[in-house]
Amino acid sequence: MKFFLDTAHVPDIQEATALGLCDGVTTNPSLLSKEDGDPRRIVAEIAKICEGPISAEVVGLTTDEMVREGLEWAQVAPNIVVKIPMTTEGLKAIRLLDREGIRTNTTLVFSPVQALMAAKAGTSMVSPFVGRLDDIQVPGMELVSQIREIFDNYAFATELLVASVRSPNHVVEAARLGADIATMPWNVVQSLARHPLTDIGIERFLADWEKVKNR
Ligand code: G3P
């Protein structure tokens, strides 16, 4: 499973890249609004740091606006993937951008049939938002499981990208279900490596070494 960073914060992307844990990046208007400076320049900088796909989202609501913005984002860097919201206007934009050879990531997916429609339209990735479903007491991972089954039934090339990841448990479940990608905030990436027994084990080894090191 590929690890994407769900952030527009450049230092975190640099750190994850140094760790070899940045297979791509997903941004959105909310994440870009937290950073200082021109969003296009931030995305361009991210696209230089991380060689994988970098998602940048359109904000227009009509097909024409989405296609125009998508073409503009595609000029920013060769590894840009245009994020399109899952609407009927968005589906038309996905088809048109696909014909131009521009990859898309269909975002705000909350049902299996939305994922199926996006795959049929030719999207490169679909992003089910598991955390936001959990927030309304609907198990987000059940949606991931349903999309996996549908994509495997028909051998769609569309990648299943688990988004709105809030905890290491989401990452484990995404991997167990065979998601292609999990995109996660930096705090989740950091917490993946931690285990209290690892910390206790290191402390004990160091304490024991103190007793014998000067023998
Ligand atoms: O990739 C989509 C993600 O940014 C949404 O996450 O935590 O705002 O639901 P969240």
Is there a catalytic annotation at residue 83?
yes
How far is Cα 86 from Cα 97, in angstroms, rounded to an integer?
A: 14
- Block means of pLDDT (10 residues each) for the chain, 215 residues, are 98 95 97 97 98 97 98 98 98 98 98 98 98 98 98 96 97 98 96 93 96 92
132 lines ligand 1 (CB under 6 A): yes
- Cα of 206 from ligand 1 centre, angstroms: 40
Ligand 1: distance of its center to the CA of 183 in Å? 9
Q: Which residues pair with 55 in a beta bridge?
A: 26, 81
Count of domains forming the chain: 1
Task: Report the 10 Å Cβ neighbour count for 75.
Answer: 10
5 DSSP β-pair partners = 25, 184
- Domain enclosing residue 133, as ranges: 2-213
Report the SS3 class of residue 44.
Answer: helix
The domain that holds 35 is classified in CATH as 3.20.20.70
CA distance 204 to 73: 52
Phi first, then psi: give them for residue 35, nearest 5 degrees: -105, 155
Q: Is 109 in the pocket of ligand 1 (CB under 6 A)?
A: no
pLDDT digits 0-9 by tens, 4-53: 999 999 999 999 999 999 999 999 999 999 999 999 999 999 999 999 99
What predicted TM-score, i.e. pTM, was given to this entire model?
0.94
